[in-house]
Amino acid sequence: MVIKKDILSYTSAELAPILSELGWEKYRIGQLNSWLWKHCVRDFESMSNLSVKHREQLSSLFRINKLTEDKKQISNDGTVKFRYALHDDKKIESVLIPVSDDKRFTACVSSQVGCSLTCAFCATGKMGLTRQLAAGEIFDQVVEVNKFCEETYDQKLSNIVFMGMGEPLLNYKNVCSSIAQLTSKDGLNFSHKRITISTAGIAKMIVKLAEDGWKVNLALSLHAADDAKRNEMMPINESNNLHTLMQALKFYHRMTGNRISFEYIAFEHFNDYEKDAKNLVKLCSHFPVIVNIIEYNPVEGVDYVKSSEDRLNTFAKYLLKHGVMTTVRKSRGKDIDAACGQLANKG
Ligand code: SF4
């Protein structure tokens, strides 16, 4: 029995020689790419401008892996969490976050099924890593969330963040392939300026991202401004300490000109002291930074507690007073399983 490979796991450049070999003309390959990545059609039968022979050829060689919406939770604040079943019945999450009174919409997408990095405060970290997501599975999360956004709000997505399940830089090839199709004129034509990769901090992959010429925005999930506290919460810091990360981010900024974001979840009596704010100000002196202080969405079985509003505001004020561009993000979707990995882990 021939095991057919998912056609969405090929980049356009990888697929072209295979089809040329079968006698496909260039314009036909262009038509197929357009069905796959621009019109996002997920069955060969519907590709109406391809001949029956071409469609049969495709069906005999390839399959198309699809996402199936398996569960959806809608929060009172408009945040929508989707759980998708993959072709092998593994589950992942994506989130639609309305911003600024429903004028902008951000899709938060997953890059892996589970995650290997075991950050102490994270529900996904407790699952371990099951597998990498294919480029098509990442791309299709955007397609599905965008479809919902258009149907519900009559608006397209304005931003995409790789901040769902998984560490995007540990699925580098597929994440970059998905970005290539998202930003391509022959794909969704999304601006790279509106795409953000959020990383727990893999220094050598940050450098590679810059060297490979990607211009997306980069956010570091910082959460602590000294190595001892960061090691305690995020074991990846033991092999990628803050000094190494700052060097990598400095390089990324130099190569792309992009401002870096630091994501900072405030935990009560852990990383919300003035001393922490002082350390954070120092880290912000290397390159232009915006700090997003985030209210924690509690996760079952985790001892960390979210900072009180007072402590969080005092922390933010210290940063602002010392010239650091700072935003405070209230947690979204408190009434649903909004913390990363909570819904996928259910049932
Ligand atoms: S916070 Fe991100 S990197 Fe850390 S365990 Fe969770 S998904 Fe993985």
Q: Give the per-residue pLDDT at 113.
A: 97
Distance 56 CA to ligand 1 centre (A): 42
Cβ–ligand 1 distance for 92 under 6 Å, the answer no
Whether the pLDDT of residue 334 is over 90: the answer is no
The residues that bridge with 99 in the sheet, in sequence order, are 104
Domain CATH number, residue 118: 3.20.20.70
Ligand 1 neighbour 117 (Cβ under 6 A): yes
Give yes or no for residue 340 CB within 6 A of ligand 1: yes
Nearest to 134 by CA among 274, 245, 19, 10: 10
Q: Using DSSP, how many helices (H) and how many strands (E) does the chain show?
A: 10, 14
The answer as to whether 114 is a domain residue is yes
Task: Answer whether residue 335 is part of any domain.
Answer: no
- Tell me the three-class secondary structure of 169-229, residue by residue: HHHHHHHHHHHHHHHCCCCCCCCHHHEEEEECCCHHHHHHHHHCCCCCEEEEECCCCCHHH
Give the pLDDT confidence of 38-84 residue by residue, as tens digits. 999 999 999 999 999 999 999 999 999 999 999 999 998 889 999 99
Give the per-residue pLDDT at 339.
66
CA 43 to CA 52: how far, in whole Å? 13
**315 CA distance to ligand 1 centroid (A)?**
24
CA 17 to chain centre: 30
Indicate whether 122 and 270 sit together in one domain: yes
For residues 87-108, b (16+ Cβ closer than 10 Å) or e, as one string? eeeebbbbbbbbeeeeeebbbb
Report helix, strand or coil for 85: strand
- Given the residues 69, 93, 115, 211, select the one marked as catalytic: 93
Q: Name the 3-class secondary structure at 272.
A: coil
Mean pLDDT across 225-239:
97
40: left (phi over 0), alpha (psi -120 to 50) or beta: left
Whether 167 is in the pocket of ligand 1, judged by its Cβ within 6 Å, is: yes
Which residue range is the domain that position 236 belongs to? 68-329
Tens digits of per-residue pLDDT, 117-127?
A: 999 999 899 89
Alpha-carbon distances, residue 287 vs 64, 162, 310, 316 (angstroms):
43, 22, 29, 19
pLDDT at 343: 65
Kindly report the CATH number assigned to the domain that includes residue 35.
Answer: 1.10.150.530
Q: Is 268 helix (H, G, I), strand (E, B) or coil?
A: coil
Overall average pLDDT of the 181-192 stretch: 95
- Ligand 1 pocket check for 170: Cβ under 6 Å: no
Tell me what pLDDT residue 39 has.
96
Whether 19 and 132 share a structural domain = no
DSSP classification of residue 40: -
Q: How many domains does the chain have?
A: 2
pLDDT at 333 over 80: no
Residues 243 and 157 in one domain: yes
Position 297 scores a pLDDT of: 87
Torsion over CA: 53, 59, 65, 66 (sign): positive
State whether 263 and 160 are in the same domain: yes
Give the pLDDT confidence score for residue 2 in this predicted structure. Answer: 67
The pLDDT, as a whole number, for residue 340 is 67
User: Residue 317: helix, strand or coil by DSSP?
Assistant: helix
pLDDT at 344: 67
pLDDT for 346 equals 60
Are 184 and 255 found together in one domain?
yes
Q: Is the pLDDT of residue 330 over 70?
A: yes
Instruction: Please state the length of the chain.
Output: 347
Q: How far is the CA of 168 from the centre of ligand 1 (A)?
A: 10
- Please identify, among 22, 41, 63, the residue that sits at the C-terminal boundary of a domain: 63
From the candidates 108, 115, 176, 340, give the one annotated as an active-site residue.
340
192 within a domain of the structure (yes/no): yes
pTM of the model: 0.94
137 catalytic per annotation: no
For residue 200, the ligand 1 atom closest to its alpha carbon is: 3
Q: How far is CA 165 from CA 11, 142, 194, 237, in A?
A: 23, 14, 19, 19
What pLDDT does residue 192 have? 96
Give the number of the atom of ligand 1 that is nearest the alpha carbon of residue 234. Answer: 4
Condensed to tens digits (0 to 9), the pLDDT of residues 132-167 reads 999 999 999 999 999 999 999 999 999 999 999 999
Work out the pLDDT band at 12, boundaries 50, 70, 90.
confident
Residue 176, C-beta contacts closer than 8 angstroms, at least 6 positions apart: 209, 212, 214
Cβ atoms within 10 Å of 25's Cβ, excluding its own: 10
| 119 has catalytic annotation | no
Give residue 103's pLDDT band: very low, low, confident or very high (50, 70, 90). confident
Each residue's pLDDT tens digit, 255-312? 999 999 999 999 999 999 999 999 999 999 999 999 999 999 888 888 899 999 999 9
Confidence of residue 206 (pLDDT cuts 50, 70, 90): very high
**Most ligand 1 atoms within 8 A of CB, residue of 95, 117, 264 to mutate:** 117
> Domain for residue 89, yes or no?
yes
User: Averaged over 91-109, what is the pLDDT?
Assistant: 89
Q: Is the pLDDT of residue 347 over 90?
A: no
Closest CA to 142 of 197, 200, 95: 95
The residues with which 132 forms a beta bridge, in sequence order, are: 112
Q: Are residues 34 and 119 in the same domain?
A: no
